[in-house]
């Protein structure tokens, strides 16, 4: 029953929670927990990216006939964010508090800026484009849900 | 992939030198304001019309606030509004230098009642504000985005136009080129500047950055949709005052002021409540600056209310206290806190945008260490407390000024270290 926009936005908020748990664990020096939560955060985010890149973006590109517009920008930013995951993970593995907190905060701002663009521009456009087909697309995305 | 990646990431943002020239200049004016206070002491608190007080206020508003905000606008417009500023380097140059020189001329001209300095300031500030307004206005008109922050930025720029226009006219009165009633126009100049420009811009920016930095719930739609417009309408209504044959009924003015204060106080309350509900619970220096700012804004609103219903409003220190809470407590704290997010992020962003440095760019806390920004936060807090205390014990004004010098100097040093790190890493052999 949910719209594409509300489904994907809810995933952003869930990832935010996982991120905040990971960050708190780093600050507490609880490295086991930090690794676990950060892994869950990256897994959830990567799964979210997959749903966007294989369901939403192609449909958007087909409907608008434009594959060099906002979806291209979003794919590029996904790539950028994927690249940052490793750097934070590596800093957590070597128990570097300042390094991992600093990179985590940087990652957070990059992700939040990206989310704002999606939530304020791309998702509403997608909702308008696929007025009657929300359920089908949300179902497709649910099928991609990884067990995590 | 890397090539396209880099150029796309970069084409959204102006070169780092564009915002940084503003961010590095701003604390110097805060330092100068502290120095002026250190030198003049209690005299500055005697009247809002004292020449040195007028100079001090403009060092803070133009020198620190407008300078930081111009840099932040040029950085944020492409990201928030999706509309980059055309010719960013040229625009930055044409705004930055005249703004610096104009602020210094204006402060000196007001302090020493020097007509020559004030005329130079008029020319320089007209150029700086004119170019800034044209460049940002052009970008906002072409923005494909229509959300609340973009609307707030539009209103803030219109308010800056009003502030600058009235300010130039007041300067013309000061040097005998024009004849206007000083009192109502000065009030309007201050209202448009402090509430319409500074207040609405801070609000619009916070609608994006408070949820983003602290993972708080979003601002209620009623706040983001209406506050900017309501404030703007109230300011416009107030602006009719000088044109009227006789002063409007007191209740009309009190009513419009009441609307302004209600919007500002509700904004502060909502922000504090959102921050209390944040998902990120880690201690954060920038968050503390915001909280001091919001608490000061609330205190200013309460003081205004007390001024309406008690005789406190007749005390000559009343307008000074309001100005202290709003300018130093609210506006300067918030901008100071924001600099600690924007500057480290931009250092990282510009370093990592070079493919060879993608995996070595330092995270934000390595660019400015928490311990360094926290020390400055403490100094800023002490300086504010001393400033408020100096209303009761005027002799403390010297000490407050000295503490502001230390705090501003420390802020400047922290930003300078971040810049030096950027220069060192950007110049070093990448990879």
| Residue A144 forms contact with B (CB below 8 Å) | no
Per-residue pLDDT band at B144 (split at 50, 70, 90)? confident
Chain B interface, mutation test: which of A92, A109, A121, most B Cβ atoms within 10 Å? A109
Lowest-confidence range among B69-73, B253-257, B288-292, B401-405? B253-257
Kindly report the nearest CA distance between residue B204 and chain A, in angstroms: 14
Taking residues B229-245, what's their average pLDDT? Answer: 89
| Two structure tokens written together for A98 | 């300042």
| Residue A10 forms contact with B (CB below 8 Å) | no
| Residue B362 forms contact with A (CB below 8 Å) | yes
pLDDT at residue B10 tops 50: no
CA-closest candidate to residue B35, choices B107, B131, B115, B90:
B107
Using a CB-CB cut-off of 8 Å, the residues of chain B touching A98 are: 365-366, 369
Is CATH 1.20.210.10 the classification given to domain B2-241+250-425?
A: yes
CA-closest candidate to residue B377, choices B345, B323, B340, B347:
B340
List CB contacts of A139: < 8 A, sequence separation 6 or more: none
| Residue B83 forms contact with A (CB below 8 Å) | no
Confidence at residue A148, expressed as pLDDT on a 0 to 100 scale = 52
ipTM of the complex: 0.87
Contact B280 A23 (CB under 8 A): yes
Per-residue pLDDT band at B26 (split at 50, 70, 90)? very high
* Residue-range domain boundaries for chain B: 2-241+250-425
CA distance A65 to A86: 34
pLDDT at residue B6 tops 50: no
CATH of A4-143, one of 1.10.10.10, 1.10.20.10, 1.10.3720.10, 1.20.120.520: 1.20.120.520
Per-residue pLDDT band at A147 (split at 50, 70, 90)? low
| Two structure tokens written together for B356 | 């060879």
- Minimum CA–CA partner of B3 in chain A: A76
Kindly report the nearest CA distance between residue A36 and chain B, in angstroms: 18
- Minimum CA–CA partner of B82 in chain A: A117
CA-closest candidate to residue B296, choices B260, B274, B277, B324:
B324
| Residue B277 forms contact with A (CB below 8 Å) | no
Taking residues A123-147, what's their average pLDDT? Answer: 86
pLDDT at residue B355 tops 90: no
Contact criterion met (CB below 8 Å) for B208 and B197: no
Confidence at residue A132, expressed as pLDDT on a 0 to 100 scale = 77
pLDDT at residue B410 tops 80: yes
Confidence at residue A133, expressed as pLDDT on a 0 to 100 scale = 79
- Give the DSSP H/E element, type plus range, for residue A18: helix A4-28
Tell me the per-residue pLDDT of A48-103, one tens digit each, with 9 for 90 and over.
Answer: 999 999 999 999 999 988 888 889 989 999 999 999 999 999 999 999 999 999 99
Q: SS3 for A125-144, per residue?
A: HHHHHCCCCHHHHHHHHHHC
Per-residue pLDDT band at A120 (split at 50, 70, 90)? confident
Confidence at residue A28, expressed as pLDDT on a 0 to 100 scale = 95
What stretches of B113-247 show up as alpha helix (H) in DSSP?
115-141, 148-174, 182-191, 200-214, 221-238
Q: What is the mean pLDDT of chain B?
A: 92
Contact A20 B79 (CB under 8 A): no
Tell me the per-residue pLDDT of B44-86, one tens digit each, with 9 for 90 and over.
Answer: 988 888 999 999 999 999 999 999 999 999 998 887 887 889 8
Confidence at residue B80, expressed as pLDDT on a 0 to 100 scale = 80
pLDDT at residue B9 tops 60: no
Kindly report the nearest CA distance between residue B292 and chain A, in angstroms: 22
Confidence at residue A117, expressed as pLDDT on a 0 to 100 scale = 85
Backbone angles phi, psi at A95, to 5 degrees: 55, 40
- Minimum CA–CA partner of A28 in chain B: B282
CA-closest candidate to residue A32, choices A93, A88, A91:
A93
pLDDT at residue B140 tops 60: yes
B189, burial (CB in 10 Å: exposed 0-12, middle 13-18, buried 19+): buried
Lowest-confidence range among B12-21, B201-210, B244-253? B244-253
Determine what percent of chain B is predicted with pLDDT higher than 90. 81
Using a CB-CB cut-off of 8 Å, the residues of chain A touching B282 are: 23-24, 27, 101
pLDDT at residue B88 tops 90: yes
| Residue A120 forms contact with B (CB below 8 Å) | yes
Using a CB-CB cut-off of 8 Å, the residues of chain A touching B213 are: 108-109, 112
């Amino acid at each position: 029953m949910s719209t594409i926009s509300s489904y994907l936005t809810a995933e952003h908020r869930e990832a935010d929670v996982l991120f905040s748990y990971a960050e708190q664990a780093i600050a507490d020096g609880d490295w086991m927990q930090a690794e676990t939560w950060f892994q869950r955060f990256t897994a959830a985010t990567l799964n979210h990216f997959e749903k966007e890149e294989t369901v939403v973006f192609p449909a958007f590109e087909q409907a608008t006939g434009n594959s060099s517009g906002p979806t291209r920008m979003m794919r590029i930013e996904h790539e950028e964010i994927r690249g940052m995951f490793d750097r934070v993970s590596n800093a957590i593995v070597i128990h570097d508090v300042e390094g991992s907190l600093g990179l985590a905060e940087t990652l957070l701002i990059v992700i939040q800026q990206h989310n704002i663009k999606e939530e304020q521009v791309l998702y509403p456009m997608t909702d308008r484009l696929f007025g009657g087909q929300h359920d089908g697309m949300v179902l497709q995305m649910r099928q991609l849900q990884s067990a995590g | 992939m890397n090539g396209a990646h880099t150029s796309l990431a970069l084409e959204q943002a102006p070169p780092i030198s564009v915002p940084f020239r503003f961010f590095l200049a701003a604390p110097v004016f805060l330092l100068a304001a502290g120095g002026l206070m250190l030198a003049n002491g209690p005299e500055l608190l005697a009247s809002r019309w004292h020449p040195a007080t007028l100079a001090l206020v403009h060092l803070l508003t133009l020198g620190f606030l407008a300078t930081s905000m111009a840099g932040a606008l040029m950085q944020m417009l492409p990201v928030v509004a999706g509309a980059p500023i055309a010719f960013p380097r040229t625009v930055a140059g044409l705004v930055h230098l005249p703004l610096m020189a104009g602020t210094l001329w204006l402060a000196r001209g007001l302090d020493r009642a020097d007509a020559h300095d004030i005329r130079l300031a008029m020319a320089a500030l007209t150029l700086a504000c004119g170019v800034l307004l044209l460049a940002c206005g052009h970008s906002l008109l072409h923005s494909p985005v229509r959300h609340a922050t973009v609307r707030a930025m539009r209103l803030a720029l219109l308010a800056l136009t009003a502030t600058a226009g009235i300010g130039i006219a007041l300067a013309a009165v000061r040097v005998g080129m024009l004849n206007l009633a000083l009192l109502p126009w000065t009030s309007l100049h201050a209202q448009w500047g402090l509430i319409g420009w500074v207040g609405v811009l801070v609000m619009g920016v916070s609608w994006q950055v408070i949820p983003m930095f602290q993972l708080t719930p979003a601002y209620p739609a009623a706040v983001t949709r209406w506050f900017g417009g309501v404030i703007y309408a109230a300011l416009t209504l107030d602006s009719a005052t000088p044109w009227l044959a006789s002063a409007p009924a007191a209740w009309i003015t009190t009513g419009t002021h009441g609307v302004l204060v209600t919007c500002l106080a509700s904004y502060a309350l909502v922000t504090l409540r959102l921050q209390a509900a944040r998902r990120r619970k880690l201690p954060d220096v920038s968050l503390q600056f915001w909280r001091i700012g919001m608490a000061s804004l609330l205190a200013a609103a309460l003081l205004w209310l007390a001024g309406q219903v008690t005789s406190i409003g007749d005390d000559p220190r009343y307008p000074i206290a309001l100005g202290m809470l709003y300018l130093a407590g609210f506006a300067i704290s918030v901008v100071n806190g924001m600099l600690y997010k924007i500057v480290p992020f931009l250092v990282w962003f510009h370093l990592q945008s070079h493919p060879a440095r993608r995996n070595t760019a330092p995270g934000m806390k390595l660019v400015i260490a928490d311990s360094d920004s926290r020390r400055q936060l403490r100094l800023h807090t002490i300086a504010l407390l001393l400033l408020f205390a100096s209303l009761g014990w005027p002799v403390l004004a010297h000490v407050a000024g000295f503490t502001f010098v230390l705090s501003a100097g420390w802020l400047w040093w922290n930003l300078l270290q971040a810049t030096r790190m950027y220069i060192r890493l950007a110049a070093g052999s990448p990879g």
